[in-house]
């Protein structure tokens, strides 16, 4: 990975931090996005201690469209070249909240933010030559058939369902992005990292929160959870693979719903409108 420039969102904790460390260990020039400067610098110090490599922290809040646009500008200024974008940041919210733009928070942070960020960085990625976009989804995507009439889940909010739908968005976004990148020397793939011991469900309330906290000690380590992200970002084996979904570093067929191109295209068009790209 010598000379490869990588950007990892949510790189200040959990799977993202482990992904950044793994890529740095392979010689990449890694930057992490963190919405909190102190948490970002603390992660950079841990990565430096573990790998001997310096990691740059780029401040960025994915919780609003303005935050994503400001982040994209900072990335353009800080990174004249960009080879790998790992859209890893995400959350699970058990109560319905809205972003300042009026989007349901899970949909906004887990889908619209990486959608907009990727599109704003696409030229930089493509001009770098052999670029890769890696989208961290979840196996729960399979339970997240979308309701295009109610993407903001205004009716009958269910945090678990909102999370599953946002992860379906990650898979559909990846497939449509891969289609649009054909012939441009760049790839896009998504993945399930495993069930990993991180802070993802620490604030979750109700049954989901209690269940996650109960099983947390038994879960996979962040280092193992980062393996598939690192594989997709770095391995020669997947240099030309695009539009696929990976589990344990291997491609896995997605559900019939996720394979329908009309779902991916519709989500793309709606997301373009919601993020102000068109």
Ligand X SMILES: NC(=O)c1ccc[n+]([C@@H]2O[C@H](COP(=O)([O-])OP(=O)(O)OC[C@H]3O[C@@H](n4cnc5c(N)ncnc54)[C@H](OP(=O)(O)O)[C@@H]3O)[C@@H](O)[C@H]2O)c1
What x-and-dash track marks residues 137-166 binding ligand X by CB under 6 A?
-x----------------------------
Pick between residue 39 and residue 161 the one whose CB is nearest to ligand X.
Answer: 39
**In the complex, minimum distance from the CB of residue 205 to ligand X, in angstroms, rounded to a whole number:** 15
What contacts 36, CB < 8 A, 6 or more positions away?
12
What x-and-dash track marks residues 183-222 binding ligand X by CB under 6 A?
---------xx-xx-xxx----------------------
Distance CA 110, CA 92 (A): 9
Query: Which single residue is written with the structure tokens 């020039």?
Result: 29
Distance CA 8, CA 104 (A): 23
Question: How distant is the alpha carbon of residue 53 from its chain centre?
Answer: 23
Pick between residue 128 and residue 138 the one whose CB is nearest to ligand X.
Answer: 138
22 belongs to the binding site for ligand X (CB under 6 A): no
Written as one string, the DSSP assignment of 152-203 is T--SS--HHHHHHHHHHHHHHHHHHHHHHHTTTTEEEEEEE--SB-SSTTTT
What x-and-dash track marks residues 39-78 binding ligand X by CB under 6 A?
x---------------------xxx---------------
> Which of these segments, 13-21, 141-149, 179-187, 239-247, binds ligand X (CB under 6 A)?
13-21
Distance CA 275, CA 278 (A): 8
Is 163 considered catalytic here?
A: yes
> Which of these segments, 8-16, 141-149, 245-253, 258-266, binds ligand X (CB under 6 A)?
8-16
Catalytic residues: 163
């Amino acid at each position: 990975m010598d000379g490869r420039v990588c950007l990892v969102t949510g790189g200040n904790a959990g799977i993202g931090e482990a992904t950044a460390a793994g890529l740095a260990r392979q010689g990449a020039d890694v930057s992490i996005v963190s919405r909190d400067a102190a948490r970002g610098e603390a992660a950079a110090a841990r990565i430096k201690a573990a790998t001997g490599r310096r990691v740059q922290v780029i401040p960025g809040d994915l919780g609003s469209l303005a935050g994503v646009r400001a982040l994209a500008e900072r990335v353009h200024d800080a990174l004249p070249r960009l080879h790998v974008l790992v859209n890893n940041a995400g959350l699970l919210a058990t109560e319905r909240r809205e972003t300042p733009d009026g989007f349901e928070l899970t949909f906004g942070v887990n889908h619209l933010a990486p959608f907009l960020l990727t599109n704003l960085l696409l030229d930089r990625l493509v001009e770098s030559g052999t670029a890769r976009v890696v989208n961290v989804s979840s196996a729960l995507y399979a339970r997240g058939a979308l309701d295009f009439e109610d993407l903001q889940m205004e009716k009958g909010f269910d945090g678990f369902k909102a999370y599953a739908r946002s992860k379906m968005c990650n898979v559909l976004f990846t497939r449509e992005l891969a289609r649009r990148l054909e012939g441009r020397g760049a790839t896009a793939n998504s993945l399930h990292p495993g069930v990993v011991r991180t802070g993802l469900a620490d604030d979750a309330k109700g049954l989901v929160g209690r269940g996650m906290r109960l099983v947390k000690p038994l879960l996979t380590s962040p280092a193992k959870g980062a393996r598939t992200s690192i594989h997709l970002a770095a391995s020669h084996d997947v240099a030309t693979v695009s539009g696929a979904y990976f589990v344990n570093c291997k491609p896995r067929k997605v559900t019939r719903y996720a394979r329908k191109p009309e779902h991916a295209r519709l989500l793309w068009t709606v997301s373009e409108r919601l993020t102000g790209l068109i």
